[in-house]
Structure 1
Amino acid sequence: MTQAPHHAPILGDGRELRRMAPGSVPQPEGDVPGWVSDEHVHAFAIDDGDEQAGVVALRLPEHRDGAGQLAWQLRPESRGRGLAASALRAVVEHGFTDLGLRRIEAYVARTNRPALRTAAQAGLRTEGVLRGFRDGVDGVVLGRLSTDPEPGTRDAFTAWLNSSLPTKRAIAQALIRDDAGCLLVCELVYKKPWDLPGGVVDPQESPATAVVRELHEELGVTAEVRSLAAVSWLPAWRGWDDATLFLFEVTVPAADLGAIQLEAREIRAVHWCDDSELAEHAADYTVRVARQACAALDAGTGTVYLEDGRPPRW
């Protein structure tokens, strides 16, 4: 690892970052951990005129893996003026340009929204959740690579926003009916309620592509999507976060239906169920979604939007 020069990174705006000698940094509160006086840490005081407004610390990797760890703390009376964001950007640039780091990361309590905004302004993206980070509160893992776009650019803003927006599971299932109106339903290995065929949509995969893939993988059939019968928002349930269910009307060749090949790790059996049999074996929300979708298809009213399998009250 390249040794740090003795000068401090330039902060600008009439303010300075002052390199602090190892062991001279007082232990601050908040998001700067106890390693601020470690010999592997480069600590900088944020000077604002005659006042020391705070401190930024950059811990260098001990095993030459090129990843540094960033932490900072600002005095309450110095907050709200962009000092921390400017200091972080300067220290991050110092880490990449002068120290040869390839990556800089930080860990912030999930409830510390000002610190998360400061990290974002310095170009760090949200990468994951650290459960039980501090005092039972989850933390956020943030990181920036030396190859990432410069903060303040459109590409950097897009990347940060994309990383920090919530994600929602998407589920794609198939509505397959025989001439009598019975539905093809799967008896599953891993849970008691029967369910419509389909599964979770993979990252970067469309729901329509997912339902065709799932039918091929789990039942060995070649399916064709005819229409989107229903979209249902599903609230959090039994440890699962909320999700969006896409229920497609699907056709499968009769020859394929007569020679279904089950994925034994997931599907125990398939059944053709009428409404009463579906209600007996499937979860309540599955029954509600299937009924609403079938009714819409039979009435020719197009795709129906549901919440927890019910028409919403606008």
Structure 2
Amino acid sequence: MIDIAAGPDGTALLHWPVDPAGPTVDALQQAVTAAADEVLAEGRHRVEVRRPATDPVGRRALLLSGFRQEGVLRQAAPLPDGGHGDLIIYARLASDTVHGPNGFSGVMNSALPRKRLIAHVVMRDPAGRVLLCQTTFKPDWELPGGIVEPGEPPRQGAVREVKEELGVDRAIGRLLVVDWLPPYLGWEDACELIFDGGVVTEDDLAGFELDQREIVAVRLCTLEEAAELVIEGAHRRLTAACTVADGETAYTEHGRRV
């Protein structure tokens, strides 16, 4: 049922034809597990499989066999209608934990969706004007902050991003807003956390050391002025952050309170 071929650098490649009338998930899982166990017992360190995105039975069997999903080869699989679909790459390493809770969690962690997490910071002057950044990579302005790194606490991510973008260490306060962002400019959807960055003055701005690769300029502006600089959803969540009650955290979706 399963062909085994030698790949580069001690990798074994498994393959079998896509057959809608073929084996069940359970039968295929047993065959895939046996083949992987065989080649790993022979001393290979990696078993790799590439399955069309249109093969749910094969993809399910691989996950049940302890294979991790590693990536997508876009439009790499020819389709019967002459078009092309995606190929999903799976692999199992000799060092992988396959059985028990850790094995299950590792497999599912590789295959389940992961949302991008963004941490931004609201800094306001005594008059209530908000600090915004003009960026090098998009036309609309933005709050200081950015994408949280894997394994990084969101608040610490906000501290790091402010340091990188503005060149200053800021004490980051409480969480003001949790917002869901729809897809935008090629990005998939994400969740954004907005933290209180405290009071900032024009003198503080003069002391910033901007990261010129990302930040062109900074300015303080009213919410009315910000409406001309940021996209509509960003203005809604910025308004929510500036008007949230003391001790409250607002939950919004695309800036709209829910």
Tell me if both proteins adopt one fold, taking TM over 0.5 as the criterion: yes
Aligned to 1:16: none
Deviation at 1:66, TM superposition (A): 0.4
**Quick one: distance in 2 between partners of 1:185 and 1:258?**
14
Residue identity matched to 1:145: L
Deviation at 1:122, TM superposition (A): 1.7
Residue identity matched to 2:10: G
Rg larger for: 1
Distance 1:168 1:196, change over 3 A: same
Aligned to 1:124: 67
Q: 1:288-313 CA distances to partner (integer Å, 9 max, x unpaired)?
A: 111011111xx32510000001012x
Residue 243 of structure 1 pairs with residue 243 of structure 2: no
Distance 1:257 1:59, change over 3 A: same
Residue 72 of structure 1 pairs with residue 19 of structure 2: no
Quote the RMSD (CA, aligned, Å).
1.8
Aligned to 1:285: 233
How many residues are matched?
A: 252
* Percent identity over paired residues: 35
Residue identity matched to 1:166: P
Q: Relative contact order, CA 8 A, sep 6+: which one is greater? A: 2
Distance 1:164 1:81, change over 3 A: closer
Residue identity matched to 2:39: G
Whether the 8 Å contact between 1:85 and 1:122 is mirrored in structure 2 is yes
Aligned to 1:267: 215
SS at match of 1:82: helix
Match of 1:104 among 47, 57, 62: 47
Whether the 8 Å contact between 1:224 and 1:252 is mirrored in structure 2 is no
**Quick one: distance in 1 between partners of 2:199 and 2:44?**
55
User: TM-score when scaled to structure 2?
Assistant: 0.92
**Quick one: distance in 2 between partners of 1:77 and 1:181?**
66
**Quick one: distance in 2 between partners of 1:252 and 1:93?**
60
Distance 1:258 1:78, change over 3 A: closer
Q: 1:242-265 CA distances to partner (integer Å, 9 max, x unpaired)?
A: 000110001367675441111111
Q: Structure 1: where are the runs of 5+ without partners?
A: 1-54
**Quick one: distance in 1 between partners of 2:22 and 2:213?**
59
Once the two structures are overlaid, the 10-residue window that deviates more, 252-261 or 123-132, is: 252-261
**Quick one: distance in 2 between partners of 1:77 and 1:126?**
24
Superposed, which structure 2 residues align to 1:1-314 within 5 Å? 55-61=1-7, 63=8, 65-73=9-17, 79-80=23-24, 82-98=26-42, 100-135=43-78, 136-150=84-98, 152-251=99-198, 256-296=204-244, 299-300=245-246, 302-312=248-258
**Quick one: distance in 2 between partners of 1:107 and 1:283?**
40
Q: 1:160-186 CA distances to partner (integer Å, 9 max, x unpaired)?
A: 011111011111110001100000111
User: TM-score when scaled to structure 1?
Assistant: 0.76
